[in-house]
Structure 1
Amino acid sequence: MNITQHTPSKKLLAVFAHPDDESFICGGTLAKYASEQVDITLVSATRGEMGRRMGNPPYLNRETMADAREMELRNACDSLGIRQLQFLDIRDKTVEFVDENSLTARITAIIQEIDPDVVLTFHEKLGGHPDHCAIGKATTAAFQKLDRRGALYFITFGDAMERPERYGYSRKDVVKIDVHAHLDAKLAAFRDHRCQTEIDEWVWLPDQEAKARFGKYEYFLKADRASSTLNHDDLFISTLG
């Protein structure tokens, strides 16, 4: 009898703070790996109900914002190929005030359940927003607590890490992902987050003009700076086996 050998699916877990973090910051990378059949789970700490943008012209309020942004995030997940979405149901702009040990324990349980090969989150100091930094700090603590296989990376903004020395890092600490073939999906996800992007005229230009605003690369910092085994253009190299 012939027994078919199945290669285990690679798994990626992204733990972010708000709806749209996944699309605006690293949507090209998520779309790339989804197209390669990586099983992606996204965890959003909040539903973004305190976002300042409420549509253009405004059509949302504090009572309707959370439901609208959840729906937009689900649409963006479809556009990017993200298969699983979880919410931690923390109120927007309060992640930094949640008990750190409790939040770390929740994320630890998620990591144990999913058993990802790669975990993405925010850098606890370079995240740029208190919610970002807090969820990044808790996710980093959870990952390190488990002392497990796989790799942890911090997402970064735009092309800032083309010159990582400005932030105390070197090029060997940076993974640079080519996303040029996945800008259609990234643009679709931007447009899915409609209430947040309607005010940005460039998002709604003809596709080619809008995509020209995107960089061809997205950048990630290695959490384990001492590691010399990880590749500089693939988050998964040397994390399996």
Structure 2
Amino acid sequence: MRLNQGPEPAAGDDILARLLYRDALMLVIDKPAGLPVHPGPGGGDTLVRHLDALRFGLPRRPEAAHRLDRDTSGCLVLGRHPKALAKLGKLFSGHRVDKTYWAVVEGEPEEESGAIDLPLARRSDDPRSWWMKVDPAGDPSLTRWRVLGRDRAGRAWVELRPVTGRTHQLRVHCAAMGWPILGDTIYGRAPRQGGPGLHLHARALDLPLYPSRPPVRVEAPTPAHMQAALDACGPGPA
């Protein structure tokens, strides 16, 4: 069952307008940039506070089946009950979900496509820190990429397909290649305040949820804060 999305609301607005897909096991929503999924030490609004509106008759609210950074927009999968969450968790942990991201990067890749195979580790031993770094002793991390368009200002529209799912993997990998993601305040060139917002969008997911059916594919529309930069890079994929 595919659902049409209405106008893009701001973070915390009607979450039903962001529903992209629904079946008996899962929901997929278009998470807005700037809205964290879970509460953090700084407080503030979170996606969790809005999930009761997505029960659709079930006794429990759905829960996120994987991670998506606060500043990343796009497809987020929710399990509708514990058994569904367990099944989805195995798909994500087993790298069986095909994830496609769109990013605008500062600095143009020399090639048109390739793979980034760089292990990642935490920058700090502090368990509260999520900042990552390239480290030969870290966890294996692989990202496949291809250029979808380029602009005249030295930026590129890049499709990123993470094979592994490390914390901040795409952001660190792009920065390590010399083309950080536009708006990245941690690994890129953006100021901490007043920047353009992180130009990283979880564009699509393909989930092999049902053995006798093709993978479920869900796509999220381009967020408003990325549209101008993508337009400047050209028409993108056919």
> What is the TM-score with the length of structure 1 in the denominator?
0.28
> What is the TM-score with the length of structure 2 in the denominator?
0.28
Q: Greater share of strand residues, 1 or 2?
A: 2
Q: Greater share of helix residues, 1 or 2?
A: 1
